[in-house]
Structure 1
Amino acid sequence: MGSSDFAPPRAVLFDRDGTLVRDVPYNGNPALVDPFPQAAAVLQELRSRGIRTGVISNQSGLARGLLTPAQVQAVNARVEELLGPFDVWEICPHSAEDGCPCRKPAPGMIHSACARLGLRPADTAVIGDIGADVEAAAAAGARGVLVPTSVTRPEEAAAATLVAADLAGAVDLLLGSP
């Protein structure tokens, strides 16, 4: 199935750390938020086409006591200040051991974001940097695009249906651009 075989998504949900901004483990400091160079332009392109945007982010630092909700909110506010307003934010505050339905690769945050946006998962896409991001998309019935980084394991890239070299390439795949 080529990129021209489906309509562009009505919403794109992004992983936060390692996808929109450089990953700073358990970051509670807004001053350390550093967007990837293409992030602002990619988001502006989507918004200009009327495509809604959102963030889905595992934040196990909350469950582990390494972050407070206020710190996570402050970092997210800084992301939004630098990259513009998102239509929806979904944060999983649980650790991997909690067995919650929201933590990626589970589809809970995608289902919740879609419900809040009034869209079906089939009308949305997820862009992330690790296997859990695209696995969550598949589990929800959304399209997933993997943008590998230095932390992406080779087997995650091999298992992903759609892989792009960078954020702009991921959006081009979803929009059916060359």
Structure 2
Amino acid sequence: MKLAILDRDGTINVDSDEFVKSPDEWLPLPGALEAIAKLNHAGWHVVVATNQSGLGRGLFDMAALNAMHAKMFKLLAAAGGKIDAVFFCPHAPDDGCHCRKPAPGLFEQIGERFGIDLHGVPTVGDSLRDLQAGVAVGCEPHVVLTGKAARFRGLGVLPAEFPVGTWVHQDLLAFATFLINRELAAKTPAA
């Protein structure tokens, strides 16, 4: 099974320091929906792993979160793509849970649900904690220079705390293109 695990806010949709709290505030990043569709068309299953501490903080409720995801699914369907599942942590930062990234709980749940070892599975996000959670279960780390990581554009190098071997992409569409091209290159016999 070809699986890619994506962060949500700052990777698929516009992030906000004030939290994304409603469907009206959920706005896809340019090219993100097309990126997911492109992955799907190349045979990839896409899953989202996202911290949603706005629930634990009382900023929005499950109905609002479900409505945001319904909007995401509808826009994705119109772009020819789909997300197989959304795994989210509803806890506030001080709750001490095992599912809030950088803890690996969401990734462990994904591995259990799909019955696969996540070693080598690409995971992409816009923050260090997204990658730390994935690397803890053996995922291959990818960062997109959108959302929180936009501040690294033009630096040429990531801060040292990022996992060794982190791949860097301008955005989710660049990540999808890279993944598909790498797979095609691996299938092409050497001349």
Range of TM-score over shorter length? 0.7 to 0.9
Deviation at 1:64, TM superposition (A): 0.9
Count of paired positions: 170
Hey, what does 2:86 align to over in structure 1?
89
User: What CA deviation, in whole Å up to 9, does each residue of 1:90-139 have, x standing for no partner?
Assistant: 01001121121111111111111122122221252211111111111111
TM-score (norm 1): 0.86
Partner letter of residue 157 of structure 1?
L
Question: For the pair shown, which has the larger CA radius of gyration, 1 or 2?
Answer: 2
Q: What RMSD, in angstroms, separates the aligned Cα atoms of the two structures? A: 2.2
Hey, what does 1:40 align to over in structure 2?
33
Distance, in Å, in 2 between the alignment partners of 1:123 and 1:83 is: 26
1:164 maps onto 2:169 in alignment: yes
The more displaced of 100-109 and 166-175 is: 166-175
User: What CA deviation, in whole Å up to 9, does each residue of 1:67-110 have, x standing for no partner?
Assistant: 11111111111111112331111010011211211111111111
- SS state at 2:59 partner: coil
Hey, what does 1:99 align to over in structure 2?
96
Hey, what does 1:5 align to over in structure 2?
none
Task: Note if contact 1:89-1:113 (Cα within 8 Å) is conserved in structure 2.
Answer: no
1:20 maps onto 2:19 in alignment: no
User: What CA deviation, in whole Å up to 9, does each residue of 1:115-173 have, x standing for no partner?
Assistant: 21222212522111111111111111111200123633659933242111111222233
Percent of residue pairs bearing the same amino acid type: 33
Q: Structure 1 unaligned segments of length 5 or more: list them.
A: 1-8
Deviation at 1:45, TM superposition (A): 1.4
Q: Structure 2 unaligned segments of length 5 or more: list them.
A: 186-191
TM-score (norm 2): 0.80
Deviation at 1:39, TM superposition (A): 1.1
